[in-house]
Amino acid sequence: MSKVYVIHENSEWTVHLTKRLEELGVPYEEWHLDEGTLDLSAEPPEGIFYSRMSASSHTRDHRFAAEFSGQVLAWLEAHGRTVINGTSALKLEVSKVLQYLELNKSGVRTPKTIAAVGKQNILKAAEAFAGHPFITKHNRAGKGLGVQLFHSIEALKSYVEGPSFEEPVDGITLIQEYIQSPESYITRCEFVGGSFVYAVRVDTSEGFELCPADACQIGDLFCPVGEEVEEKPKFQIIEGFEDEILEKYKDVLARNDIQVAGIEFIRNAEGDIYTYDINTNTNYNSDAEAKAGKYGMLELAAFLKKILEEKYAAAASTV
């Protein structure tokens, strides 16, 4: 029997989807690809394949999960299987440099960014931002990895040459202009099946750790799920969000064969939008969704069910 195969490396982030698949009666199987084997002479099973592989997999001791998943996805695609968020999506998931280049192709403004390898080159790159605040971040990131705010090159030098410096897993550090929002929030736009689902406003007053997942822990910070309701929730779904940027985002996703993603932007004091992240392993915050009555994982499960039924109904009609 054909089924949905969910490719991932983190069960805590996947259980919310599998519960929805069960709720809708969708047959599925999980492929946890933190390790394994791939027989190139074998043929993949029938079904559709959805990848939730994450750029931050190495932080969960799954150092080569993304690399292995890339080979598995290529194998599936070579055999003509239907893959949701396949090799093109994974390519962008693990590289912010590639994300920015693709965003720019669609006329999407991104912050000025310089990629550097080597500590001396990080310091050299920062000279382009002298006199202005700037941030560092990892090229292959997720969970706010390596994000630090600096107001001087001297402060950056102390960090880079000190014991707290975080070496990026791919060796590439990004130095980026700091876009300051007057109200300390960013906006994340969620897409399923290439269509806009909703936008969520995320409070950034406590820092850069913006993971919306229910089971999300970054250092000593936890996402506000299952705790007392806050006066000012960290995550709030925006009712009736509309902006011309959405059409540009759809173009980026379509050109890169990405069906499921969360795209984040920030507005400066003048109201200009700067986009800085495409997350193809998107997660959703249950508190915000419950208040708005909108459910990303339910939308995703319904989308996968529709693709599965269409694919194999068409196949049956040709027999």
Nearest 5°: the CA angle 283, 91, 63 is 75
Residue 219 has pLDDT above 50, yes or no: no
> How far apart (Å, rounded) are the C-alpha atoms in residues 296 and 21?
12
Provide the 10 A C-beta neighbour count for residue 301: 24
User: How would you list the strands of the sheet with 148-150, edge to edge?
Assistant: 113-116, 173-177, 134-138, 148-150
pLDDT tens, position by position, 79-123: 999 999 999 999 999 999 999 999 999 999 999 999 999 999 999
CATH code, domain carrying 138: 3.30.1490.20
Between helix 96-105 and helix 245-255 the angle, nearest 10°, is 120
Between helix 119-126 and helix 153-160 the angle, nearest 10°, is 170
Domain final position from 93, 125, 153: 93
Task: Give residue 156's pLDDT band: very low, low, confident or very high (50, 70, 90).
Answer: very high
Radius of gyration, alpha carbons of the chain: 20
pTM: 0.90
pLDDT tens, position by position, 182-194: 999 999 999 999 9
| pLDDT score, position 205 | 84
Asked if the structure places residue 141 within a domain, the reply is yes
Query: 89 and 99 in one domain?
Result: no
Domain count, the chain: 3
| pLDDT score, position 315 | 58
The CA-atom distances, in angstroms, between 167 and each of 43, 164, 172, 301 are 39, 9, 8, 37
Query: 47 and 159 in one domain?
Result: no
Question: Which residues fall within 8 angstroms of residue 120, CB to CB, at 6 or more apart?
Answer: none
- Classify each residue of 128-137 as buried b or exposed e, where b means 16 or more C-beta atoms within 10 Å of its C-beta: ebeeeebbbb
Residue 295 has pLDDT above 90, yes or no: yes
Return the structure tokens found at 124. Answer: 């050299």
Mean pLDDT for the stretch of residues 142-162: 91
Query: 102 and 74 in one domain?
Result: no
Residue 211 has pLDDT above 60, yes or no: no
Provide the 10 A C-beta neighbour count for residue 226: 9
Question: What domain range is 40 assigned to?
Answer: 3-93
Query: 195 and 105 in one domain?
Result: yes
| Residue 299, amino acid | E
CATH code, domain carrying 29: 3.40.50.20
Query: 172 and 265 in one domain?
Result: no
Asked if the structure places residue 311 within a domain, the reply is no
Decide: 94 and 66 in contact? Cβ < 8 Å: yes
pLDDT tens, position by position, 234-254: 999 999 999 999 999 999 999
% the chain with pLDDT above 70: 90
Query: 170 and 208 in one domain?
Result: no
Query: 104 and 125 in one domain?
Result: no
pLDDT tens, position by position, 16-75: 999 999 999 999 999 999 999 999 999 999 999 999 999 999 999 999 999 999 999 999
* Conformational region of residue 302, where left means phi above 0, alpha means psi within -120 to 50, and beta covers everything else: alpha
Query: 209 and 126 in one domain?
Result: no
